Amino acid sequence: MSLPSLKGSEPRCSALIDLSALRHNARVCQDFAGPSAGIMAIVKADAYGHGLERVVTALSNQVDCFGVACFREAVRARHASGTNQPILILSPALREEYEGIVSGRYSASVSTIEEIETYEKVAKSLRKKAKLHLIVDTGMGRMGVIPDHFSDLIDLINAAEFCELEGLATHFPSADEDEAFTLSQIEQFSHLLNTVKLAEGTKIHLANSAGLIGYSDKTPFAALVRPGLALYGVSPLPKQAKEIRPVLSFRTKVTLVRELPAGWGISYGRTFVTDSSTRVATLAAGYGDGYPRHLSGKGADVLIRGTRCPLLGRVTMDQIVVDVSHLETTQPGDEAILIGSQGDESITASEVAEKAGTIPWELFTGITPRVERFYV
């Protein structure tokens, strides 16, 4: 049974995604990478909440390949690109995914003997090559071969009839925080590369957004860089990448405007009580849309009519309340910006994330499916 028509109904909460800013950021990332390194655009987690299909389509002619978290995302990215661009699955595969990965000619990340042996077995049964990227754990601790066993796994892949060593990689856990440790990772990884003879065209990659922006001159041997957050408009090292442009704005609407007397509690728990007569606006957004509940009582603002309006009380599932006493006029239907710009004022994803005690990555990926995405 089809749903009734929604004609005349606008979304209460929406995200506007600027694809020209996305492509601009890809060019900025390429400038940091230099002409000898390609771009692997990271589009996992629905392209950080921006919409995997639209992001892949927008970037397919501008980047070399895509990075995803799992087999299902790989299939979506391949379909959206409309090409045979390489797609690397960055996380370990589930056993039931191996066959689809090999038959679909996706690239897989491996860390262990067992993974390599399983890929060899599956690939042999399909009479196809498994394209593998060996991950080296230089300090992330999440996946990857320990350096002491690096050469053993290289030898195992090279000896496997149906496995191809397509790439070698590591990952920076703190390139935006710990320069000394990041440099030690680069040195260790570089040393390991010098201990093996690699086939021509083996893709070497280690730089995430922070690594790309802060350490590209230290990794001339890298064939690929892996920007994620920087593509979506936030630089982990903002002083070094001022050219990065915001891609997403998160917006909602005023639903009610009321005058509340002094001594009136607002929202659950009455954590905020008015100390004088206060004009308040109720907005159609809450943690059910991805506006963090942890912003409650943390000095967060929204923009209405180009002016910052303080959040009052706790964020609820579907609504928040803000102080509009200082605005000349406010009325239901007015646009309210949760993240983005209005007039001369801006509220960045980094500002919101910091006040919520989280990071922009979580903020973007936490914007829920009921928030309709629009693309320009």
- C-alpha closest to that of 174 among 147, 205, 210: 210
310 bridge partner residues:
301
> What is the torsional sign of CA 231, 106, 79, 70?
negative
Contact 89/52 with Cβ under 8 angstroms? no
Under the phi-then-psi rule, with left for phi > 0, alpha for psi from -120 to 50, and beta for the rest, what region is 132? beta
- Select which of 44, 131, 203, 355 is catalytic: 44
Beta strand pairing status for 130-135 and 107-110?
Answer: parallel
C-alpha 76: how far from chain center: 16
- Select which of 98, 121, 128, 268 is catalytic: 268
Q: How many CB atoms sit inside 10 A of residue 155's CB?
A: 11
**In the structure encoding, which two tokens stand for residue 55, read together?**
């992001």
CA distances from 182 to 138, 216, 237, 257 (A): 9, 12, 14, 51
Contact 37/64 with Cβ under 8 angstroms? no
Catalytic status, residue 197: no
Rounded distance between C-alpha atoms, residue 257 and residue 134, angstroms: 58
Rounded distance between C-alpha atoms, residue 241 and residue 239, angstroms: 6
Strand, coil or helix: 19: helix
Catalytic status, residue 44: yes
**In the structure encoding, which two tokens stand for residue 143, read together?**
């996946």
- C-alpha closest to that of 271 among 244, 293, 238: 293
- Alpha-helix residue ranges (DSSP H) falling in the chain: 19-33, 44-49, 52-59, 71-81, 98-103, 113-126, 150-159, 179-193, 209-215, 349-356, 360-365
- Catalytic site residues? 44, 268
